[in-house]
Chain A
């Protein structure tokens, strides 16, 4: 994988559903993987910075895992709420872009009440 890729592109779930989405990134020269939540008309909000293979981080109902050997990270949201509706971005710091962040296109999550 040469670029950072996120899937799915968009996701619609009902309130209370749990959901997850994927970020794939170059595994060579990995340094760090960032997750952001971006609500419309606001600044992207940093959720997690992950660096170690097998790392798992949690913030409330949101958690993320990291596999640096195969180059992917999962973001999980348990019991989705309408306020979770946002675009979730991942960004890789490493590979051929050391010192910079390379972003995926984002996953647009819509949680319906």
Chain B
């Protein structure tokens, strides 16, 4: 149980294009999902918290107009990197928190997406 999928696993795009990454909880409903970014040799950094049916909460320094998050259902959240530039190249990973995990902020992770912007 507690499986989270993420698609695509790898994407290469041209500068200026937009890229959408999907995060799905396969066997549980997640009212809250999280999006992280990891640069080389650094820790996972939280970008935003996504709540089903409401606007995402972004961490300080993360541009909400550049990283659009949609959490339209209890099993799907999407992250769209708009007008991507080479500096957006990174590893993006999502997690989902089941309702029972709220107490300790238990999160289950997808496998991540490697984005390369040329």
- A interface list, Cβ under 8 A from B: 4, 31-32, 34, 36, 41-44, 46, 49, 51, 89, 91, 93, 99-106
Contact = CB atoms under 8 A, between A and B. Distances in A.
Interface in B47-97: 49, 93
Nearest to A36: B109
B105 A32 contact: yes
Contacts of A42: 111
Given A100-B49, A104-B43, A105-B42, A43 B104 contact: no
19 contacts: A31-B104, A32-B104, A41-B111, A43-B111, A44-B109, A46-B106, A46-B107, A89-B43, A89-B44, A99-B49, A100-B46, A100-B49, A100-B105, A101-B105, A103-B36, A103-B43, A105-B42, A105-B43, A106-B43
A44 B43 CA distance: 13
Contact of A101 (B2, B9, B46, B112): B46
Interface residues on B, range: 20 to 34
A93 B49 contact: no
B109 A43 contact: yes
A53 to B, nearest CB: 15
Nearest to B6: A43
Interface of B: 2, 4, 9, 34, 36, 41-46, 49, 93, 104-112
A51 B101 CA distance: 13
B44 A49 contact: no
Contacts of A93: 104-105
A67 B95 CA distance: 27
A101 B59 CA distance: 12
B109 A51 contact: no
Contacts of A46: 2, 106-108
A43 B105 contact: no
A91 B103 CA distance: 15
B111 A101 contact: no
Ordered nearest first, which 5 A-B pairs have the shortest CB separation? Answer: A93-B105, A32-B104, A103-B44, A103-B43, A44-B109
Contacts of B46: 100-102
Contacts of A101: 34, 46, 105, 107
Given A43-B4, A99-B105, A103-B45, 8 more contacts: A31-B105, A32-B104, A43-B112, A46-B2, A49-B106, A93-B104, A100-B34, A103-B43
